Chains A and B, each alone.
Chain A
Amino acid sequence: MNPATLDARLSSTSQRQSFLPINRWFLWKEFRQLTPLVVVLLTAALVVIFFQSEFFTSAARLSPVTFLVFPGLFAVGAGTVLVGQEREHRTMDWLTTLPIPSRNLVLVKFTVSMVGLVLMWCLALLTMTLYGIGQDDSSNWLTYSRGRIASNQLVTLVRYPMWIVHSIYVLLCSFFASWRIKNQFIAIVLVAPLACIPLLFSETVLEGMYLASGQHLKPASMHWTRIVVSLLAVPLMGLLSYHAALRALSPQSGPSFRIVITRLSASKSAEESVTPSAPTFGSPTMSIVWQAMHSAPLVWIALLSMTLGGVCLPWLGSAGSDRMFSYRVDNPWTLISTLAVCWLGVSVFKNDGAAERLQFLADRGISPLKIFIGRHAIPLGIISLGLIAYGCIATYQSANATEIAEVRDLPSLLTVTLVAMVIYSVSQWMSQIVQMMILAAIIAPVASFCALSWWSTVARHGAPTWMLGMFAVLPMLATCCMMPRFMDMRDRPRSFILGFGIAFAMFALPVVPQFWQLVQVSRSNELPDYEKLRPLCEKIVAESKSASSPIRLLVAHKTTSGENMVTPSDATESDAEALDSVTWKSTVEPDEFLIPLTDLKQQPDAATTIPEPIWTALIDRLMWERLKFTQSPAETRSETIRSFADWIETASVIAQRLRLNPKWYDQEIADRLEVWLVDVLKNPELQPYELEPFFLQAAARFPERSQRSSARLRGVILSWQNWSYPTPEERKAFGFNRDPMVDRLAEDGYSLSFGIWMMSLESIAACAIETLETDGAAIDGRSWQRRMHRAVFYDRIPFELGPYSDRIRLPRAVTTIEREILYPARFWFLEWEDDAAALRKNAISTLASLKAEGEAQ
């Protein structure tokens, strides 16, 4: 390449470079700087959503607040990241030397953060829309909600406009604090009180209006007041932030000669003589406390105010008014004190607690434990003060309450202490693990929330209090163990490995008592012997899959979700007549939901099912029809028997088809229908009709003992498989969603924690299977009734009080048919089965002889 060409190229390159839009480059740099924050927040959001959906009760699942909090956290962090990092990396002065006007620097940073905020909001709103959250009664874009929810503080708080406007204000606050204050931590802490100013102001205005007029504004007006105040605060804070930025970016004047002289003389005198007022400490721990206290007094004041404010303000705010006094987790003041506890934890290993600064102490031979204690002294002191304040308020409130509602949501001092310990402990752990201060400040609340979710889950399931305390202390032990390495900055990667270990321990330790309970239950020999049962189960499951028997719903009632609704295409009114009166006609016409009985009769292999409410109505109707027949005068019997015969036939057809259904629940209903039928057919009043076709056919429809046992066994095993492997496909394969009996048992098992109730169901299944296999004989010297009682009731009630005792089993079976609560295997191996077998045998032989006679004739 000749020199002329080279010169020309260089010249053109230089020209191009000079025209490079430096703003675009700067924009790119800012976006890159902000990316970690966005990534961390999105990851944290995913983790929180997982925790909420997995471990919270349905009422609290995927709360809208979860989605709304993350744009807010972004707003808090954006300013600190974009400005604070310039300070941390000492690039602030370099920025001022760039050929970009300060105004542009400020605007670019603000624009980038606004783009990030818009992105966060879009993601939050999109996710909420996808999950269908927050649309209880009206759009969340309205400033008020209608109906009963209007008075609910939580829901009214999540109106979108208020949150969006306030997040812009918070973003400006974070810029203001970061431009204004050199210490990043103080800047972050300052954002919290600044963010509350419009809220406090609007509440003061509303309170003033209430005091002046004596009545509260309408909810919509109250929200508009809050939004207007926040809207007014946005330009004000923008202006303050802009001025703070210009001041920070302006070239700093050098120190004057006079000041230099003064400083020099001061340092000289300091060297010459020990200042009498300088504190001397015998204990290194106390000197660390002194250092922590004096290095950032503003931080402590701010955090102390937030802690005490969160405790006292809900109480003071409720004094003298009719508003609810509450420390619920959704109370904004409670959230502020929670955040304060988080940041107190973060403060332990940041600022003066950062590894670089602690190394100085390590070099002087100060014990890591003393430093650990010294760093925790002030935060723990502040938290203890808050807890004492809470204890006093809660005691006063509890002792003087006149309404239940005043104390209903008042957690005890022990609960609040443990919750605070979990939050603090996890936060200080995060502060040691995460090096970047701003990320630690944002990750700590999220990690604390996740830990708290798990903690509350294990607490709800009855973990002992000492275990809950241990849970709270574990991260403190971890940081204490890591102190020597942390101070020498040799803690990586060991801190991560230990971190995983601690996280695992926190997850696993509280489950130990539950696990022990599971072991105890499994030791009691009541669990199924899976190896023994496997061949049988596999055979029955395979048969049921290869069998083509259709599953038909006989009757079903409409549900709001449309489940179990039968299309009326194949129903006719005449066929439905036999059953229409057992249903509730006012809600649905019978031909809308009845499958023709004749269809069922024509298909001998058609299985059927019957929903719970229809079963109740059917058995009531059967009882009435029988009563009408038995109470009718002898001279009208020939007429009444015709109507009654229809019902006998209906009951016997349904019972027969229910036996084909692979649901245990339907086998139980079939038992009860057969009990009724046996009692009817054995009745002396029906003996004159024992040669009638309806009588003989009904008796012949009774299954043989072995058939009944096989049907039950199939029902038990397939229902067991359904609840053991409840995938939608498997459930669908059996033609039903949930077995009502299993649901009932599951409800009863709420007091048994974790998998205990599932184990209880398995015990029931195992007992049922073994009982059917041994034909009701005692196993290992214990009657199956006692085993079944223990499996169903656990240790809640004595055997004699339960449904398997002789008290309930010995009376005439038909008198003890229950309606709403169907206990499994209630009617197994009772006398009625022998009666059914005898009736069947007689009927079949009679039918055969009648047939033979017919053929002979």
Chain B
Amino acid sequence: MKSRSQRYTTFDFTYAAVAAPMLALIAMMIYAEISWRTQAKRSDSAWQSVTDSLGGKDPMRLASWYEAHKSKEQTWNFNRVLASCDAIFAANDAWLNHLDPTEFITPAPPDEPLPMERVVRKLASDAKPVLKLLSEIEPEFANVWQPFVFDKEESLLPTAIKSRNLIRLLKIEFLDAYHAGENQRAIEAIVLLDRFYGGEYRTISAAEETIRMEAESTLRKLVLHSLVHDVWNESDLARIQSLLSKEAHWQRRWNDLTRGQILRDRPWEDRIFYGYAFRSLWLLCPAMHVAPSERHDLARRFTTIIADDHVASAKHLQEITGLERPLSGSKSSPGARDSSWAADRWIQFPQMNSDWRELGLFNNYAGVAHDLADAFKEKRLTQCAIAIKRFVKRYDRFPDSLSQLTEHGLPAEVLNDRGIALFRYEPIKRDSVRLWLRAFPQPDSNPNRPRPEFWNQTVVTK
């Protein structure tokens, strides 16, 4: 019998090298598997801390919270108001939900022509019984319960979208009343906007929050545009100012919507991933297996979202808006991915990378965070503009500086955000001034085209 050394020659070993790539490939797969197991422990603990901070990922928590914070008292009335708004727009010559011809109409005083006056009058006339019913709903029942099925975004969306026509109708009511010189009716319209979509309104989704911000924006724009006319008297302005001075609960709003979104999405995260993968462009796309390193990264970004910090702070805003670009690295935006690449992605299935699927998810948070911060600043801008108008009414001249307004009742914090002056005050003519709002730091801004320091001007006239 041949001994082992006699059986195999150097050539055997030389030509056995053809097996080297196969062995290397097998080694890569084994390494990936080890990496998968290691990363899984890390990911589990990161998710544990996220869900712990939300009080667990039991979907019933969201339903319980919703039932506790919403009133069924006026659901019937509010829902038929919403349905009627849709019907009014449908009956008035086919305004489809997404088209609003009055979008760019600004308030016109009685002595000026109102664009599309006939349409505005007709709609305002149709809206009368609706607004009458709406005004009968007492403020304590303004957080209206809806029969939500906490299944997915689509079941919450229709009700949120229906609110858009109510907001439009209230705007039309304001335009009509303002043009008719009926100041109290005009103010009543914005009071109703604030009652149902102001700071006391509790939301559970980004869609609802976006609609609410649309309502707030409508209110602010109507007021700001009206300040170029001399329509409001001192008591009107005081009433509007008090409306705008109400607590906005920015942080609570952020917490509400993030908790709502996360509690609704998390239990079915795999299903969401699956849905995205199913519709992928890649033709041979099987069900998605997400690598633990990616799950960990996701958990880290959720940690940023639910951080207990003020949403309007520039730092947090920067972190949150950075979330929408998960691939942009940690250099430019702190919110972006900072974990190193892990080999477990080799055996993720089917794509090497699943960040693109999360893009849609984080767009919600980043977009809403950005809009919330904008709303925060613009609310102060409106407050400041009204204070100037009131000053002019009282002294028949513009203040020399904005600090003069604080001596006449405007809270000093309105003019500053954490020690930084928010506005630039600029007299342009004898009878008008311009108020500029400071631009926010934008992590995604192009360094070659820096944004101006101040923007979003508004004009106040005597």
Interface 9-mer from A29-37, A354-362, A396-404, A843-851:
A396-404
A286:B21 contact, CB within 8 angstroms = no
A411:B79 contact, CB within 8 angstroms = no
Against B, the Cβ 8 Å flags (1 = close, 0 = not) of A800-822 are 11110001100110111011110
Collect the chain B residues with CB atoms within 8 Å of residue A620's CB.
83-84, 86-87, 90
Against A, the Cβ 8 Å flags (1 = close, 0 = not) of B6-19 are 11110110011011
Interface range on chain B (Cβ under 8 Å from partner): 35 or more
Closest to A628 in B: B129
Collect the chain B residues with CB atoms within 8 Å of residue A811's CB.
72, 75, 147
B24:A624 contact, CB within 8 angstroms = no
Against B, the Cβ 8 Å flags (1 = close, 0 = not) of A386-426 are 01100100110011011110111111111101010000000
* Contacts A412-B345, A414-B348, A620-B83 given; does A460 touch B286 at CB 8 Å: yes
Cβ 8 A contact of A627, one of B22, B93, B129: B129
A290:B349 contact, CB within 8 angstroms = no
Contact residues of B: prevailing secondary structure: helix
Min CB distance A460 to B, Å, is 5
Interface 9-mer from A9-17, A226-234, A580-588:
A580-588
Min CB distance B307 to A, Å, is 24
Other than the given A279-B9, A412-B352, A811-B72, 13 more pairs (CB < 8 A) read A56-B283, A59-B281, A283-B12, A381-B21, A391-B25, A394-B352, A395-B345, A399-B340, A406-B327, A409-B281, A409-B282, A582-B87, A587-B94
Query: Is A619 close to B, CB under 8 A?
Result: yes
Query: Is A218 close to B, CB under 8 A?
Result: no
A816:B328 contact, CB within 8 angstroms = no
A459:B149 contact, CB within 8 angstroms = no
Which residues of A, 100-140, contact B by the 8 Å Cβ criterion? none
Interface 9-mer from B172-180, B226-234, B268-276:
B268-276
Which residues of B, 279-296, contact A by the 8 Å Cβ criterion? 281-287, 289
User: In the docked arrangement, what's the CA distance between A59 and B279, Å?
Assistant: 10
List 26 interface pairs A-B (beta carbons < 8 Å), by A numbering.
A280-B11, A329-B282, A378-B18, A381-B18, A381-B22, A384-B22, A407-B327, A407-B355, A407-B356, A408-B353, A410-B353, A411-B284, A412-B349, A456-B285, A584-B96, A586-B96, A617-B86, A619-B83, A621-B91, A627-B81, A631-B129, A751-B271, A801-B59, A801-B60, A818-B147, A821-B149
Query: Is B223 close to A, CB under 8 A?
Result: no
* Contacts A279-B11, A584-B94, A811-B75 given; does A407 touch B352 at CB 8 Å: yes
Which residues of B, 324-383, contact A by the 8 Å Cβ criterion? 326-329, 340-341, 343, 345-353, 355-356, 359
User: In the docked arrangement, what's the CA distance between A509 and B343, Å?
Assistant: 30
B284:A398 contact, CB within 8 angstroms = no
Query: Is B117 close to A, CB under 8 A?
Result: no
Query: Is B137 close to A, CB under 8 A?
Result: no
B327:A801 contact, CB within 8 angstroms = no
Collect the chain A residues with CB atoms within 8 Å of residue B355's CB.
404, 407
B347:A412 contact, CB within 8 angstroms = yes
* Contacts A282-B8, A584-B94, A627-B129 given; does A456 touch B284 at CB 8 Å: yes
A631:B132 contact, CB within 8 angstroms = yes
Interface 9-mer from B151-159, B399-407, B434-442:
B151-159
* Contacts A399-B341, A798-B60, A811-B147 given; does A623 touch B80 at CB 8 Å: yes
Collect the chain B residues with CB atoms within 8 Å of residue A452's CB.
284
Which A residues form the contact surface with B (CB < 8 A)?
Answer: 56-57, 59-60, 279-283, 286, 289-290, 293, 328-330, 377-378, 380-382, 384-385, 387-388, 391, 394-395, 398-399, 401-404, 406-415, 417, 419, 452, 455-456, 459-463, 465, 468, 581-582, 584-587, 617, 619-621, 623-624, 626-628, 631-632, 750-751, 793, 796-798, 800-803, 807-808, 811-812, 814-816, 818-821, 823
B275:A624 contact, CB within 8 angstroms = no
B80:A631 contact, CB within 8 angstroms = no
Query: Is B76 close to A, CB under 8 A?
Result: yes
Query: Is B130 close to A, CB under 8 A?
Result: yes
A584:B129 contact, CB within 8 angstroms = no
A627:B130 contact, CB within 8 angstroms = yes
Closest to B332 in A: A402
Min CB distance B408 to A, Å, is 42
Query: Is B391 close to A, CB under 8 A?
Result: no
Cβ 8 A contact of A797, one of B83, B150, B158, B289: B150
Cβ 8 A contact of A402, one of B7, B9, B154, B329: B329
User: In the docked arrangement, what's the CA distance between A465 and B130, Å?
Assistant: 58
Closest to A408 in B: B356
Cβ 8 A contact of A385, one of B21, B72, B271: B21
Contact residues of A: prevailing secondary structure: helix
User: In the docked arrangement, what's the CA distance between A282 and B67, Å?
Assistant: 80
B32:A617 contact, CB within 8 angstroms = no
Query: Is B133 close to A, CB under 8 A?
Result: yes
User: In the docked arrangement, what's the CA distance between A754 and B415, Å?
Assistant: 61
Query: Is B68 close to A, CB under 8 A?
Result: no
A410:B351 contact, CB within 8 angstroms = yes
Which residues of B, 38-96, contact A by the 8 Å Cβ criterion? 59-60, 63, 67, 72, 75-76, 79-81, 83-84, 86-88, 90-91, 93-94, 96
Collect the chain B residues with CB atoms within 8 Å of residue A391's CB.
25, 28, 346
Closest to A60 in B: B283
User: In the docked arrangement, what's the CA distance between A413 and B350, Å?
Assistant: 9
B283:A329 contact, CB within 8 angstroms = yes
User: In the docked arrangement, what's the CA distance between A455 and B60, Å?
Assistant: 39
B86:A461 contact, CB within 8 angstroms = no
A461:B287 contact, CB within 8 angstroms = yes
Collect the chain B residues with CB atoms within 8 Å of residue A463's CB.
286
Cβ 8 A contact of B349, one of A410, A415, A461: A415
B8:A582 contact, CB within 8 angstroms = no
Cβ 8 A contact of B20, one of A281, A381, A419, A823: A381
Closest to B63 in A: A801
User: In the docked arrangement, what's the CA distance between A617 and B83, Å?
Assistant: 9
Query: Is B29 close to A, CB under 8 A?
Result: yes
Min CB distance A425 to B, Å, is 15
* Contacts A623-B84, A815-B76, A821-B154 given; does A419 touch B347 at CB 8 Å: no
Query: Is B141 close to A, CB under 8 A?
Result: no
Against A, the Cβ 8 Å flags (1 = close, 0 = not) of B127-152 are 01110110000000000000101110
B349:A414 contact, CB within 8 angstroms = yes
Which of A293, A385, A460, A617 has the most B CB atoms < 10 Å from its CB? A460
* Contacts A398-B345, A461-B287, A621-B90 given; does A814 touch B76 at CB 8 Å: yes
